[in-house]
Amino acid sequence: MDEKPLQWHVAFQAALQIELMEDREYLQFLKEYNLSEKPLQIDTLIIKLEPGRKIKKSLGRIFRQYNVVEYKSPLDYLSVNDFYKVMGYACFYQSNTEKVMEIRPDELTVTLISNHYPDKTIRYLTKNHGIAVTKAFPGIYYMEGLLFPIQIVVTKKLSREEHIWLSRLRNDLNMEEDIEPLARAYEGKQKNPLYAAVMDMIIRANKNLYEEGKNMCDALRELFADELEEGIRQAKEEWIQAMILDNLEEGVAADRICEKLHRRFNIPLEKASEYIDKYTAV
């Protein structure tokens, strides 16, 4: 039987919230934020609930009030087209308001997250736009000279101590440096759906790379089997419910929501409407 495709973006959403957990109560995370009635979606929009608050993690130091985040899975890369697309999203988000300057451009940032440093994209932007790129923290690079403050986050170069989860959301981990510390960090958090979702993705993405890593992943799954499966189930239910309610609030038609449930969560179309009824029942 063919395995289901790896849902990198779902795990990323969980890892991002884990990394910013210290400031979680002051941040609002809007996943797959619709820019318009047509399918233009920001991967993640993070809004500071206290605009002047400083974020503790280096990942969030650049954040202002409105923060557009684009994530590329380890199997993908950050191209020049991706860069312009996200900048377009940010511009559209800033301008698509009822009042002029309702969202101030100087209160908006862009974060581009990739497993690999985008050399070709950086060379193109440096040559054609004269941008300056500086290393602010391990794996985090600031770009200056464009419309908004921009950071590029290279997950495999992040501090493994500060960003335990996001730095390991990859498919090329090794047992000694990555999986064993991750197992220790996971201890006691097995029933938390955010941690369970990320751990499940890491195990599935790395289980066939090396025999040593595979054995450790199998051992981790056996050790945390019940808690992991329950956490994944809870996480999936919460994401399904949030997506349905968000789309209904935005006026998205039920048939379109069913299509989204089918694409994102592999829910059969004939069953998707049952989820809508379940989560909209009084």
Q: Which residue has the higher pLDDT, 129 or 266?
A: 129
pLDDT of res. 199: 85
pLDDT of res. 226: 57
For residues 136 and 181, membership in a common domain is answered with no
For residues 164 and 244, membership in a common domain is answered with no
Q: Which residue has the higher pLDDT, 200 or 232?
A: 200
What value does the mean pLDDT take over residues 151-155? 97
For residues 51 and 114, membership in a common domain is answered with yes
Domain termination site, one of 120, 155, 170:
170
For residues 197 and 119, membership in a common domain is answered with no
For residues 117 and 142, membership in a common domain is answered with yes
Greatest mean pLDDT among 22-31, 160-169, 203-212: 160-169
Residue 139 in this model has a pLDDT that exceeds 90: yes
For residues 204 and 258, membership in a common domain is answered with yes
Dig out the tokens for 280 from the structure: 């909209």
Confidence of residue 154 (pLDDT cuts 50, 70, 90): very high
Q: Are 52 and 183 in contact (CB under 8 A)?
A: no
Q: Which residue has the higher pLDDT, 181 or 152?
A: 152
In angstroms, the CA 166 to CA 115 distance is 10
pLDDT of res. 39: 60
pLDDT of res. 282: 45
For residues 73 and 166, membership in a common domain is answered with yes
Detail the DSSP E strand segments found in the chain.
Answer: 27-34, 41-48, 66-71, 108-114, 132-137, 140-144, 150-154
Residue 200 in this model has a pLDDT that exceeds 70: yes
- Domain of 229 in residue numbering reads as 171-282
188 φψ region: left (φ > 0), alpha (ψ -120 to 50), beta (else) = left
pLDDT of res. 225: 57
pLDDT of res. 193: 86
Per residue in 92-120, pLDDT tens?
Answer: 899 988 899 999 999 999 999 999 999 99
In 3D space, the residue among 146, 249, 113 whose CA is nearest the CA of residue 133 turns out to be 146
What is the total count of domains within the chain?
2
pTM of the model: 0.69
Q: Which residue has the higher pLDDT, 21 or 255?
A: 21
Confidence of residue 281 (pLDDT cuts 50, 70, 90): low
For residues 51 and 147, membership in a common domain is answered with yes
Percent of the chain with pLDDT over 90: 43
Least confident of 83-97, 117-131, 142-156, 246-260: 246-260
The beta-carbon contacts of 35-40 under 8 Å, at least 24 apart in sequence, are 35/89, 35/92, 35/93, 35/96, 36/92, 36/96, 37/251, 40/89, 40/92
For residues 12 and 56, membership in a common domain is answered with yes
Domain termination site, one of 170, 200, 234:
170
In angstroms, the CA 121 to CA 24 distance is 32
For residues 117 and 130, membership in a common domain is answered with yes
Percent of the chain with pLDDT over 70: 83
Residue 213 in this model has a pLDDT that exceeds 50: no
Q: Which residue has the higher pLDDT, 58 or 213?
A: 58
In angstroms, the CA 107 to CA 62 distance is 11
Confidence of residue 1 (pLDDT cuts 50, 70, 90): very low
Per residue in 49-67, pLDDT tens?
Answer: 998 899 999 999 999 999 9
For residues 128 and 15, membership in a common domain is answered with yes
Phi/psi for 13 (5° steps) reads -60, -40
For residues 84 and 211, membership in a common domain is answered with no
pLDDT of res. 59: 96
Domain termination site, one of 128, 149, 170:
170
